[in-house]
Structure formats: structure tokens, C-alpha cells
Amino acid sequence: MLVNGKHYRTIWLNKNDEKIVSIIDQTKLPHSFETLDLRTVEDFRCAIKDMTVRGAGLIGATAGYGMYIAALEAKNENFDDDIKKSGEILAATRPTAKNLSWAVERQIKKICDNNLSCDEKRKIAKAEAEAIANEDAEFCRKIGENGLEIIREISKKKNGKTVNILTHCNAGWLAFTDYGSALSPIYAAKNAGIDIHVWVDETRPRNQGASLTAWELGQEKVAHHLIADNCGGHLMQHGLVDMAIVGADRVSLGGDAANKIGTYLKALAAKDNNVPFYVAFPSSTFDFEIFDGVKEIPIEERGSEEVRIMSGKNKDGKVCEVQICPDSTPAKNWGFDVTPARLITKLITERGVFEPSKEAILKIYPI
């Protein structure tokens, strides 16, 4: 997608040295656009753990490239063992997003399940990393096409008047390699000439809506307003939301969806006000080994400093951090919650739009 009119992906092989992987440093947005080079498995571990990269699809793509770098680092005499150890390190960085372990396992299978030479395995690791990233972008493009039809129908019912869409957190191209999941249909709708407007939840405590989604929409010239996290229900009560669409970090076989903390409350408000609530994600986000998402999806608990301390630009234009609570006040910080399938109108993936049920999922994704 676009940054100051120039196309970027969120992660790419460095053109000058293919032993280096470059990323957009998302911790610097929205006040500064900077890129960062990753050279070692430890660099990748830190980038995922510290949320320099974040978002389910991008975490998966980053892990895929990290396994390529692991292949470059692996000793010939212990090649497969070294690869698997690096995979364990990367997979342990964040527990909720299924795409992470999915990408690591996919790379291990490709790299290790053969009798090829170490040099050939390194070539396979590179090709598979590129394939994971390209597949992620293509699946997100198709999500946009499938979700566009939903927005188009709402626009027709409103006789071309503005379609107001609420989203939570960031599930745009910054969360994937390109296009995004929840934002992909929005971009497709804008490109189709549909009049749209987006309500952007701030998404505390890390403010991904305020710092990332709002920045993305501004770059793509999509009309939007930033709102406080607790404003969504009020807007729905007064008919100011036509649909809600969010991303997901893991989706169970039963259709339950884990997403950024606060998503569940938006789904409850949507249900109470008859606002359709959609979850968009690529198939790599499915966890077919889990049925009850509320009980079984692991929920990441992050450091208390993310709740106690906020970052922003002061009146002098400098980015700084401020503490928002008393010195002695502790904090708890769950990163995700799970929206039960009963609150979800439809799931949107690269294969279509369908009910959040085991029967519908298995029809689209037979396993």
C-alpha cells in the first residue's frame, strides 16, 4: 500500500543484500516513518516480541523470513537441529496469533523433511519465506474483493449515501504484508468509488487504532474519525454505524475469534443494536485443533507498563512518554479477548464469506 504516495510492503528482502530482511518499524508510527534491518534470528525474535512488527499475518511472514535467516545461521553439521531450535525461539515470542506457529511449522517441514544438501535447504528456506509473504498479500487482496460486496450492498440500500464502518485495532496492511484483512474491503470500496467513512477505535493500551489505522487511512485518503474506545456503543445506538469489521489473531473451528482486547465488547454492542459484525482474516489464522475459542485460545498477557505509560507528541512536537496513574498503582494487561461465534455475523476469508460455524468452515476448508 502507499506511504507518501510510494508503494511499500511491511517486510521485504533487502535489494542490496538478500541476507538482510527489512521491515517498517511500527513502534515509530505515526510520528515518524522508519525502516529497520533484521540480520539475525535474535533480531527477529526481538522484532516480534517487542511489537516492532505486529498483526497476525505480518507476524507469520516475519517468522517465515526469520526461519530463512535461521537457515543461513545453521551449522552444516547440526543443520536440522539448529533450524528446529530457532523455530522454538521464534514460536515462543507471542502466544495468541496462530500465524506465528503456522509459519514456523511450514518452514520446518519444507526445510527439514528432505535429504537435500544444506545449501539446497537454504535456497528452499528463502523461497518459502517469499512464498509465505506473497501468499499473505494475495489472500488479503481476495479478502478485499469478498468484503467489497458486503459494503456495496449496504451502499445500495442507502442509495449511495455514506457507509459508516467501525473497526477496532489495526487490521490493515501494516498488520500483514499488504492490503490487510479488515481494512482490505474498505480500500477496495474506496477504489470502487463507494462513499465510505471509518470510525477508528483508539485501541488502548497500545493505541494501534490511533497510531496505525488512522495513519493508514490518512495515507490512502479514506475519510475517518478517531473515537474513544468506549464510544462505539453510543454510535450504534444512534444509527451511526452501518457495519463493524475487525481482524483476528486466531479463529477456532467453532468460529470463535480472538482479536485485540475490547473486540468482544464491540460485538456485544453490535448484537444489541442489530449492526452486522464481520471478522476478516486469511486462512493461516484458523486453528482447526481448537473448537471452543473462549476456553482454549491462549491469551497473551503483556507488561503492565503498556497500561501505565502512554507515548505521544507534546506541544513542542517531541515524542515522549508519560505516566497516567499514581506511582504505586499496579496494572494488568491482557492483549486479546475472544468474540464467540454467536456474536459474529459472517467470517470473511480469501475463499469467501460464510457463517461462523463448524459446518460452514469445514465446507469451505475440508480437513
pLDDT for the residue 367: 79
- Catalytic residue, chosen from 43, 136, 178, 249, is 249
Phi, psi of 107 (to 5 degrees): -70, -45
* Amino acid letter, residue 311: S
pLDDT in tens, 64-81: 999 999 999 999 999 999
How far separated are the first and last CA of the chain, in Å rounded? 33
Phi, psi of 322 (to 5 degrees): -135, 145
* Amino acid letter, residue 34: E
Q: Respond yes or no: is residue 327 known to be catalytic.
A: no
pLDDT for the residue 230: 96
Contacting residues for 189 by C-beta, under 8 A, at least 6 apart? 148, 151, 152, 155, 163, 196
Q: How far apart are CA 146 and CA 188, in angstroms?
A: 9
Q: Which residues of the chain have pLDDT under 70?
A: none
pLDDT for the residue 1: 86
Contacting residues for 362 by C-beta, under 8 A, at least 6 apart? 253
pLDDT in tens, 210-258: 999 999 999 999 999 999 999 999 999 999 999 999 999 999 999 999 9
Q: Three-class SS string for 293-341?
A: HHHHCCCCECCCHHHHEEEEECCCCCEEEEECCCCCCCCCCECEEEECH
211, exposed or middle or buried, with CB in 10 Å at 0-12, 13-18, 19+? buried
pLDDT in tens, 274-292: 999 999 999 999 999 999 9
Q: How far apart are CA 360 and CA 70, in angstroms?
A: 38
Instruction: Please give the distance of CA 261 from its chain centroid, rounded to a whole number.
Output: 13
